[in-house]
Structure 1
């Protein structure tokens, strides 16, 4: 039986460790891919956004709805990646801005994007890849397109009550700025990454599977 992980991440400033809020999430694999939903909260505990990301069977970003404050992104696969950025006060959408890029994945503060990119690349230990991503930057979800480099440095297996837990260690670099960090991933849960800490996990991670394994 496939697990449906849920829990809570905390966000921190990567320079001085100032708390930046948290994200309460749930995610689940399925016959057509993978879905991640979350509510985000400010440091005072008030809801300030949401994440809804659906991947297709090839782990491409089929649909994305992202909210931060009064800003919203609706995005997905269309001639590469396409998106519409709008503001809640613009009910008629007169000032909405559309974007498109021949990119491979979306990125942003949510751990969902790191999981999605790792699933998309499917690297083997020691291998590397580079890809073009569209990053939506908090708090106004401004889009930025740039290249990332991913390397799977290695994996470790840890015994648990539910069987071995395989943790993958990725080195992820922004190729425009040279900034680099380590991402620790177990199945579809980020254990730790720059500015991200897993604070609570109510159910174990789902292991990475190939789409054919769902046909049961």
Structure 2
């Protein structure tokens, strides 16, 4: 079961933006990722099914919590969620929402792994995907359209044998900002604004 520490920073100027201590593993549903923010004021618990769809997602950032998962709206794949204050005495109204997108995204590297699993690209393939993003610090939902391309898979030597690393080019289609994501199984080795600081056990490739 991989576990370790990710750090976050502003991709433009390098300003530190915290991080999270994580663990992830295959499970009965498909795959599960849990993490706690380095400042203790956030967490994520994400469970995917075998197709990469979010069976259950809970994200906490500061004073806000979102719980959601996959559903169907008008016969189309969708996600639904409830956004509420962590402390109901501050804001006692929970807001429900849904969107015709197949999955969620956000700051956590868990969502990069989840999107890659959802798309299931082969080397050389590319696709556009529309996601529901929850951004810090208030976890307000908004649509995000991205283009993903799996440009190749390279094997890197390690003491325990070759490590396959997938290279994805990812573009935010609203802003035109592009970046490169390197995945080794269910661990993000590097991505825009994300660094793997520590890894205490090897990635899963199942």
| Conserved 8 A contact 2:82-2:96 | yes
Unpaired stretches in structure 1, ≥5 consecutive residues? 210-216
Kindly report which structure 2 residues correspond to 1:44-193, keeping only aligned pairs within 5 A, or say none.
46-79=39-72, 80-90=78-88, 94-193=92-191
Displacement of 1:92: 10
TM superposition score normalised by structure 2: 0.94
TM superposition score normalised by structure 1: 0.90
Number of equivalenced pairs: 201
| Conserved 8 A contact 2:85-2:92 | no
Quote the Cα distance in structure 2 between the aligned partners of 1:146 and 1:59: 18
Quote the Cα distance in structure 1 between the aligned partners of 2:16 and 2:91: 33
Between 183-192 and 30-39, report the one with greater CA deviation.
Answer: 30-39
Unpaired stretches in structure 2, ≥5 consecutive residues? 73-77
* Residue 21 of structure 2 corresponds to residue 24 of structure 1: yes
Runs of 4+ in 1 over 3 A off after TM superposition: 91-94
Quote the Cα distance in structure 1 between the aligned partners of 2:28 and 2:164: 23
Structure with more of its chain in strand, by fraction? 2
Quote the Cα distance in structure 2 between the aligned partners of 1:31 and 1:97: 30
SS class of match (1:95): coil
Quote the Cα distance in structure 2 between the aligned partners of 1:18 and 1:150: 26
| Conserved 8 A contact 2:82-2:95 | yes
| Conserved 8 A contact 2:70-2:103 | no
1:134 to 1:164, Cα distance in 2 relative to 1, 3 A = same
SS class of match (2:110): helix
Residues 154-174 of structure 1 deviation map (CA, whole Å, 9 limit, x = unaligned): 111012222210000101111
Aligned CA-pair RMSD: 1.3
In structure 2, the partner of 1:212 is none
Displacement of 1:77: 1.1
